[in-house]
Amino acid sequence: MAGARALLRLCPLLLPQDRHGTAYEGFVTAQGRDFHIRILLPVDLQLKNARIECSWHLKKILHGYRHILKQRLHSCPDLVSFMVELKTVLEIALKNTQDLHIPRPPEYYSCLVRDLEILGWNRVAYVDTGLTTVKLKAEDSSGRQHLITLKLNAKYPTEPPGCLVDFPVPFAVSWMPQNSLLDIYNQFLAALESLKEFWDALDEIDGQTWVLEPENPTRSATTRRIAIGTNVSVNVEVDPRHPNMLPECYFLGADHEVNPLRTKLNNNMHLWDPKISLLQNLRELLEIDFPSRAVLEKSDFAKDCGICYAYRLDGSAPDQVCDDPRCGQPFHQACLYEWLQGLPTSRQSFNVIFGECPYCNK
């Protein structure tokens, strides 16, 4: 209910279309203008599998920002957070769209070229032909490559450029009219170093374990679904500001497999040591060794859905497993939900449906 109220305050013209909160339709407002939008969520309300439908006008405005919005869908914890991000991106997009039709004075170009020369052309990854979009590249102290996209308006440098980064946290620029691109670049470098431990922790997980989801994680992604065994995994949500603290852990698999893991985590929680890596802590708390990329293939524990016979469905891996130890067949939640809805013997309580396993009939 609190989330629904927060969404209503943020977007009063965006209303739920069903009692499950899986469909919203209405308008999102930016710069005094209303844009029609429709948001469809899966039954588990996971944003990463949401579908966004909008008017052709809004689609045209957001065309150059699709990759940013896709990243935000994967990284935002709830719909309210995503709508905040969407409105921010829309404000930037509208501002830059309007600026395209404003002729720039000669001082704009001379100032921009001077700033780029001071910054160093070796740090410039891209400049568009209209000199309104600049991409700068940087390397953090761990050797990772990063980009920052700057959208400059006609009043630059009086007004700061819009900044788009692949970060798990907001990036706010401190700007004065006498500042230059070098000041933004230095703030970008400082932000990269503040996130170093977060990316170190996730890089270790990506390099030493089998990550089932996301398949190709962006730098803004804060979750990893790590394989533990056949049809057993743990979803880890890492706090980018406190990456060495105990993350939120959600186990997926049959009850007889995951219940002992939950017990170990609860019993050993006090042993968490922020001085050692996140992955090593997880190994010690759960008293397991995660499947190694050097020894096992993904196919050894990543099994296809028992209904659609595919592993990936709209980017998601199977996340539901039959609890019968003799079966243990995995399914995509969407496949299982649709299957059970079609069975006359199934019963539903609020957003949970109960029925027989399509594989073993238990």
User: Is residue 233 a part of any domain in this protein?
Assistant: yes
Q: What is the three-class DSSP state of 324? A: coil
Same domain, 252 and 273: yes
The residue among 135 and 67 whose pLDDT is bigger is: 135
Average pLDDT over every residue of 32-36: 88
Percentage of the chain modeled with pLDDT above 70: 95
Q: What is the pLDDT of residues 37-82, one digit of tens each?
A: 999 988 888 888 888 898 888 888 888 888 888 888 888 888 888 8
Q: Given a cut of 90, is residue 272 above it in pLDDT? A: yes
Same domain, 234 and 317: no
Same domain, 260 and 296: yes
Burial letters for 335-346: b for 16+ Cβ neighbours within 10 Å, e otherwise?
bbbebbeeeeee
Q: Which of 45-59, 149-163, 179-193, 218-232 has the highest mean pLDDT?
A: 179-193
Same domain, 1 and 93: yes
The residue among 101 and 273 whose pLDDT is bigger is: 273
Average predicted confidence (pLDDT) for the chain: 87
Average pLDDT over every residue of 304-320: 80
Average pLDDT over every residue of 32-38: 89
Q: Given a cut of 70, is residue 100 above it in pLDDT? A: no
Same domain, 85 and 15: yes
Average pLDDT over every residue of 201-226: 91
Query: Could you tell me the CATH number of the domain that includes residue 355?
Result: 3.30.40.10
Domain C-terminal end among 302, 322, 343: 302
Same domain, 133 and 70: no
Q: Are 209 and 60 in contact (CB under 8 A)?
A: no
Q: Given a cut of 70, is residue 151 above it in pLDDT? A: yes
Q: Are 197 and 213 in contact (CB under 8 A)?
A: no
What's the total number of domains in the chain? 4
Residue range of the domain that includes 13: 1-100
User: Is residue 230 a part of any domain in this protein?
Assistant: yes
Q: Are 163 and 149 in contact (CB under 8 A)?
A: yes
pLDDT value of residue 16: 87
Task: Give the global pTM.
Answer: 0.67
The residue among 293 and 163 whose pLDDT is bigger is: 163
Query: Could you tell me the CATH number of the domain that includes residue 170?
Result: 3.10.110.10
According to DSSP H, which parts of 100-230 are helical? Answer: 106-119, 181-194, 196-208
User: Is residue 203 a part of any domain in this protein?
Assistant: no
pLDDT value of residue 175: 92
The confidence band for 259, taking pLDDT boundaries of 50, 70 and 90, is very high
Same domain, 89 and 124: no
Query: Bridge-partner residues for 134, per DSSP?
Result: 127, 150
Q: Given a cut of 80, is residue 300 above it in pLDDT? A: no
pLDDT value of residue 99: 61
Q: Are 100 and 132 in contact (CB under 8 A)?
A: yes
pLDDT value of residue 212: 86
Same domain, 353 and 322: yes
Measure the CA–CA gap between 151 and 160, rounded to whole angstroms.
9
User: Is residue 201 a part of any domain in this protein?
Assistant: no
350: number of Cβ within 10 Å: 7
The confidence band for 239, taking pLDDT boundaries of 50, 70 and 90, is very high
Q: What is the pLDDT of residues 104-124, one digit of tens each?
A: 888 899 999 999 999 999 999
User: Is residue 180 a part of any domain in this protein?
Assistant: yes
Average pLDDT over every residue of 152-168: 89
Domain C-terminal end among 65, 82, 100: 100
Q: What is the pLDDT of residues 169-202, one digit of tens each?
A: 999 899 998 999 999 999 999 999 999 999 999 9
pLDDT value of residue 358: 85
Q: What is the three-class DSSP state of 40? A: strand
What DSSP letter does each residue of 49-64 carry, written as one string? Answer: G-EEEE-HHHHHHTGG
Same domain, 159 and 214: no
Same domain, 129 and 165: yes
Same domain, 149 and 86: no
